[in-house]
Chains A and B, each alone.
Chain A
Amino acid sequence: MFDINELERKWLTYKIKSYLPHAIIIISTLVIFITLFTTINYQNSKSRVQNGNTAAVAKDGNISKVKAETITAKKVDSNTQNTPLENTPQKAQETINEKFFNEKNETKKVETKVVLTPSLSFMDKINKSTVSEPIRIIEAEAPAVETVKEEERVIAKEEAITLEEPKGSINIKRQNIQNDIEQVIKRFKKSNDPTLSLFIAKSYYNAGDYNLAYNYALITNEIDSNQETSWIIFAKSLVKLDQKDKAVETLKEYIKQSHSANAKTLMDEILSGEMK
Chain B
Amino acid sequence: MKSNIFKNSKNVFLDIVNAEDYIQIDRVSKMYHSFKDSVNKPLKMLLLYGKPGTGKSMFLTKLYHDLLSSRIVYLYQTPILDDSEFFKTLAKDILDVKYQGDLNFTQFMKILENRALDYVPIVLLDEAQLYSNFLIEKIRLLSDTRKIKFVITLHKTEKEDLIAKEHFQTRIWDSIELKNASASELKVYIQKKLMKANCFDSANMFKDSSVKLIHNLTHGNYRDTNKLLYILFDIYSHYHENNPAKINTISISNKIIEMSAIHTGLIHV
Q: Give A contacts to B, CB under 8 Å.
A: 2, 4, 7-8, 10-11, 13-15, 17
Contact = CB atoms under 8 A, between A and B. Distances in A.
A14 B258 contact: yes
B130 interface: no
A4 B262 contact: no
Contact of A10 (B235, B238, B239, B262): B262
Contacts of A2: 231, 234-235, 263
A15 B262 CA distance: 11
Interface size class of B (residues with CB under 8 A): 10 to 19
Given A2-B234, A7-B259, A8-B259, 16 more contacts: A2-B231, A2-B235, A4-B242, A7-B262, A10-B259, A10-B262, A10-B269, A11-B255, A11-B258, A11-B259, A11-B262, A14-B262, A14-B267, A14-B269, A15-B258, A17-B269
Contacts of A15: 258
Interface string B226-269: 00000100110011001000000000000100110011000101
A25 B267 CA distance: 23
Contacts of A14: 258, 262, 267, 269
- Tell me the interface secondary structure of chain B in the complex: helix
Contacts of A4: 235, 238-239, 242
Contacts of B262: 7, 10-11, 14
18 contacts: A2-B231, A2-B234, A4-B235, A4-B238, A4-B239, A4-B242, A7-B235, A7-B259, A7-B262, A7-B263, A8-B259, A10-B269, A11-B255, A11-B262, A14-B258, A14-B262, A14-B267, A17-B269
Nearest to A1: B234
Contacts of B255: 11
B265 to A, nearest CB: 12
Nearest to B268: A14
A4 B247 CA distance: 14
A2 B231 CA distance: 9
Contacts of A10: 259, 262, 269
Question: Which of B235, B242, B259 gathers most chain A CB within 10 Å?
Answer: B259
A15 B257 CA distance: 13
Which of A7, A13, A14, A15 gathers the greatest number of chain B CB atoms within 10 Å?
A7
A7 B238 CA distance: 12
A109 to B, nearest CB: 94
A8 B269 CA distance: 12
B111 to A, nearest CB: 52
Interface centre among B239, B242, B255, B263, by most chain A C-beta atoms within 10 angstroms, is: B263
Contacts of B231: 2
Nearest to A13: B269
A4 B243 CA distance: 11
A14 B266 CA distance: 12
A256 to B, nearest CB: 82
B13 to A, nearest CB: 16
A184 B239 CA distance: 77
Nearest to A4: B238
The 5 closest A-B CB pairs, nearest first, are: A11-B259, A10-B269, A14-B269, A7-B259, A10-B262
Contacts of A17: 269
Contacts of B258: 11, 14-15
Contacts of B235: 2, 4, 7
A2 B234 CA distance: 9
Nearest to A15: B258
Nearest to A8: B259
Nearest to A9: B269
Contacts of B267: 14
A61 B169 CA distance: 98
Which interface residue of A10, A13, A15 has the most chain B CB atoms within 10 A? A10
Contacts of B242: 4
A116 B238 CA distance: 100
Interface string B122-157: 000000000000000000000000000000000000
Nearest to A2: B263
Contacts of A11: 255, 258-259, 262
B146 to A, nearest CB: 53
A249 to B, nearest CB: 86
Nearest to A3: B263
